[in-house]
């Protein structure tokens, strides 16, 4: 362990004050993503200054209204699953279940999963298409942003100096088809891994809403709005002509991705999308697959 100065505020006000005074400090919650990034073998290296935020009761709260579920950034993954298992969208809970093993899920937090700078981890895609919003706080101000706004278009952190994630708000919307798949390991196989998240609402044989996102487990995320618009309003099952049009549109969006996304990942994404489009149907009850 390096010789780091570690602050452990026990209230939001203390955190706001400390981060304002030491904006260069690294915010850490469960520390599991940072540990995993260093492969977990050998000494665990920390920067000179650390702001450890997981002892703050205000960041540990979960609440619920008729319209949304709200989760404090430092609530451990396992507690979100315990409390929200039957009410949270399956596309999200499945992404949480896919994080490591129970010991890690007891420590790792949602704030850390979304805030991790070098990779867009498991929940980034699902929370993007669910239109989840994130509260960012710093001394003297707070603001709500959509999940993709946590990073710039080129993948750099978009948080202001002294700002941190305090809450995540997930709206309740009825989706009768939900899908989540992570292939590979984000930390050890970033060149072949990806996540695929999809939400579809079908009513009387017509697709009323359609959303998909891929994350490539480096910094790249693809949510193709043109594809979503093309598919929305169409009847299920999709015709072969429509699927071919969607495939060609999606292929050109894949070509625009930055160089860190490999050809292998692009081909995987295209195959997954093709499979999903051909599997779309009128569900008899809410389906997760
Ligand atoms: C063996 C192992 C396997 C894992 N496998 C997976 C996996 O398959 N998929 C996956 O998604 N994750 C995986 N993880 C990583 C990790 O467990 C989760 O991503 C977890 O949700 C991270 O949360 P944390 O609180 O531990 O983050 P931390 O490690 O504490 O922080 C991660 C990053 O987020 C920033 N951060 C943390 N909290 C905030 C906040 N409130 N505001 C702003 N920035 C913040 C930190 O500055 C840091 O850069 C694995 C970890 C281990 C040890």
Distance 46 CA to ligand 1 centre (A): 14
Domain with CATH 3.30.465.10 in the chain: 5-171
The closest residue, in CA terms, to atom 19 on ligand 1 is 113
Contact 212, 197 (CB under 8 A): yes
Ligand 1 center to 98 CA (angstroms): 13
Centre of ligand 1 from the C-alpha of residue 282, in Å: 37
Mean pLDDT of 189-203: 96
Does position 270 have pLDDT exceeding 70, yes or no?
yes
Angle, helix 77-84 to helix 90-97, in steps of 10 degrees: 140
Mean pLDDT of the 227-251 span: 98
Is residue 258 very low, low, confident or very high in pLDDT (cuts 50, 70, 90)?
confident
User: What CA–CA distance (Å, rounded) separates 84 from 174?
Assistant: 16
Which residues make up the CATH 3.30.390.50 domain(s) of the chain? 177-288
Whole-number Å distance, alpha carbon 10 to ligand 1 midpoint, is 20
- For the stretch 22-32, pLDDT in tens is 999 999 999 99
Contact 261, 220 (CB under 8 A): yes
Which residues does a 6 A CB cutoff place in the pocket of ligand 1?
26-36, 53, 73, 77, 99-100, 104, 107-109, 111-113, 115-117, 121-122, 164-165, 186
Instruction: Compute CA distances 241 → 71, 144, 237, 274, whole Å.
Output: 42, 41, 12, 12
CATH architecture of 5-171: 2-Layer Sandwich (3.30)
For residue 167, report the phi and psi dihedrals to the nearest 5 degrees.
-140, 155
What pLDDT score was predicted for residue 129? 98
pLDDT confidence band for 38 (50 / 70 / 90): confident
- Write the CATH number of the domain with boundaries 177-288: 3.30.390.50
Report the separation in Å between the CA atom of 108 and the middle of ligand 1, taken as the mean of its atom positions. 6
- Quick one: what percent of the chain has pLDDT higher than 90? 90
Question: Could you read off the pLDDT of 98-127 as tens digits, one per residue?
Answer: 999 999 999 999 999 999 999 999 999 999
Ligand 1 centroid–CA 74 distance in Å is 11
Separation CA 280–CA 283 (nearest Å): 9
From the DSSP assignment, how many helices (H) and strands (E) are in the chain? 10, 13
Pocket test for ligand 1, best of 40, 112, 127 (most atoms within 8 A of CB): 112
Give the nearest ligand 1 atom to 166 CA: 41
H helical segments located in 202-262: 225-231, 240-255
pLDDT tens, 119-174?
999 999 999 999 999 999 999 999 999 999 999 999 999 999 999 999 999 999 98
Which atom of ligand 1 is least distant from the CA of 164?
42
Q: Give rounded-to-5 percent helix, strand, coil for the chain.
A: 35, 25, 40
């Amino acid at each position: 362990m390096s010789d780091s100065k570690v602050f452990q505020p026990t209230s939001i006000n203390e955190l706001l004050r400390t981060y304002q005074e030491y904006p260069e400090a690294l915010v850490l919650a469960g520390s599991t993503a940072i540990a995993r990034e260093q492969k977990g073998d050998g000494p665990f290296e920390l920067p000179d200054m650390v702001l450890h935020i997981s002892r703050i009761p205000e960041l540990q709260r979960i609440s619920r209204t008729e319209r949304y579920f709200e989760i404090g950034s430092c609530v451990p993954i396992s507690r979100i699953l315990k409390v929200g298992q039957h009410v949270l969208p399956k596309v999200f809970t499945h992404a949480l279940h896919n994080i490591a093993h129970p010991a890690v899920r007891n420590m790792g937090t949602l704030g850390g999963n979304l805030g991790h700078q070098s990779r867009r981890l498991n929940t980034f895609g699902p929370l993007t298409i669910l239109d989840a919003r994130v509260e960012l706080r710093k001394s003297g101000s707070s603001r709500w942003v959509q999940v993709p706004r946590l990073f710039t278009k080129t993948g750099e952190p978009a948080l202001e100096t002294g700002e941190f994630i305090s809450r995540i708000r997930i709206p309740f919307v009825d989706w009768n088809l939900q899908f989540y798949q992570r292939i590979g390991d984000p930390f050890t196989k970033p060149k072949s891994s990806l996540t695929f998240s999809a939400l579809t609402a079908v009513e009387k044989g017509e697709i009323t809403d359609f959303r998909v996102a891929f994350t490539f487990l480096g910094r790249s995320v693809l949510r193709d709005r043109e594809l979503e618009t093309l598919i929305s309003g169409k009847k299920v099952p999709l015709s072969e002509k429509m699927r071919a049009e969607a495939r060609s549109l999606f292929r050109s969006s894949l070509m625009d991705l930055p160089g860190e996304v490999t050809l292998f990942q692009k081909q995987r994404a295209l195959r997954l999308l093709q499979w999903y489009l051909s599997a779309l149907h009128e569900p008899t009850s809410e389906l997760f697959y």
